[in-house]
Amino acid sequence: MDSFRAFRIDEHDGRIEAGFRELTLDDLTEGEVVIRVSHSTINYKDALAATGKGKILRRYPLNGGIDLAGVVVSSEDSAFQPGTEVLMNGCGLSETVDGGYSEYARVNGRGLVPVPDGMTCLDAMRIGTAGYTAGLAIHRMEQNGQAPDRGPVVVTGATGGVGSVALDMLAGRGYEAVAVTGKASEEEYLKRIGASRILLRDDIDFGKRPLEKAEWAGAIDNLGGDYLAWLTRTTDYGGNIASIGLAASPELHTTVVPFILRAVCLLGINSVDTPDDLRRAVWQRIGSDLKPQHLDAIGNRVISFDELPGAFDAYIEGKVTGRTVVEISE
């Protein structure tokens, strides 16, 4: 191809400038595999990068988009032959290397995953980084003894991408999934995708004691701050708390008491730097026993590449429910 279109993020005099550019393969960061990108997604992290509201990129310029899916065009890696449908999430996309907001991408084979059997590229991006992160959290929790018969698992930030897919996956695995949200208007949506009950953020009594009444067998937390501290105080003996996000705060004010007296385990979930064998194992599970059952509800927004620049503000303002897929090319 002579040239192709990409949504590129640059910095000039401390200001972020983002928009469509015409590029060639030589403009892209180095890699072994060239992909014609069919779909990407919008995550909160993408919105921070594109608007300059957060320091995400570690170098400039780069194409945005921490997710991509498409078809291999050429490859120097024998594991990925031309014509293979593949996906990538994290792995430095739109942080240290060019991301998925581009009609073509050039990436290394490390971190690249074949689209699971029975899934399309669209399905894979309806799941994307958010769904992969939810799957990784559940995988890690179950490796550490979490099971449906131990009791309810609570999910904070439940209407977001990670939270929505986590509820769906947990319900599909037979867990009693409890949703914490600040959006009372989304109760019907949350119950549709798997929540057994809804807890509004304004109704939470955070308590002050090192240990409060044990309510949860486990938790997936997208918020951090007071919410994560509350979870440490209210998770039952041997329960796992998967810490995924810091939408409320990066701070954590708690004591060691829950970890000692209740054997609570705090699991850090990093979906960017996952080792290849673990990444593939989680995606295999996402294509099988962790496969979301309500993708049409969770990933019901599919926008064109042209619409991408106008879609970020809603993420910054916290007005988005579920997932948004970006159709890059046909």
In order, the DSSP letters of 168-232 are HHHHHTT--EEEEES-GGGHHHHHHTT-SEEEEGGG----SSSS----EEEEEESSBHHHHHHHH
Dist. CA 176–CA 255, nearest whole Å? 28
What is d(CA 129, CA 92) in angstroms, rounded to the nearest whole number? 12
pLDDT tens for each residue of 186-244: 999 999 999 999 999 999 999 989 999 999 999 999 999 999 999 999 999 999 999 99
Q: Report the pLDDT value the prediction gives residue 203, as an integer from 0 to 100.
A: 93
Mean pLDDT of 5-14: 94
Tens of pLDDT, residues 263-283: 999 999 999 889 999 999 999
Could you tell me the pTM of the whole model?
A: 0.91
Q: How confident is the model at residue 247 (pLDDT cuts 50, 70, 90)?
A: confident
The predicted-structure confidence for 168-195, as pLDDT tens digits, reads as follows 999 999 999 999 999 999 999 999 999 9
Which pLDDT tens digit goes with each residue over 65-85? Answer: 999 999 999 999 999 999 999
Q: What is the mean pLDDT of the chain?
A: 95
pLDDT at 84: 97
Kindly report the length of the chain: 330
Residue 1: its pLDDT value, please? 65
Give the domains, in start order, of the chain with CATH numbers. 4-115+300-327 (3.90.180.10), 128-268 (3.40.50.720)
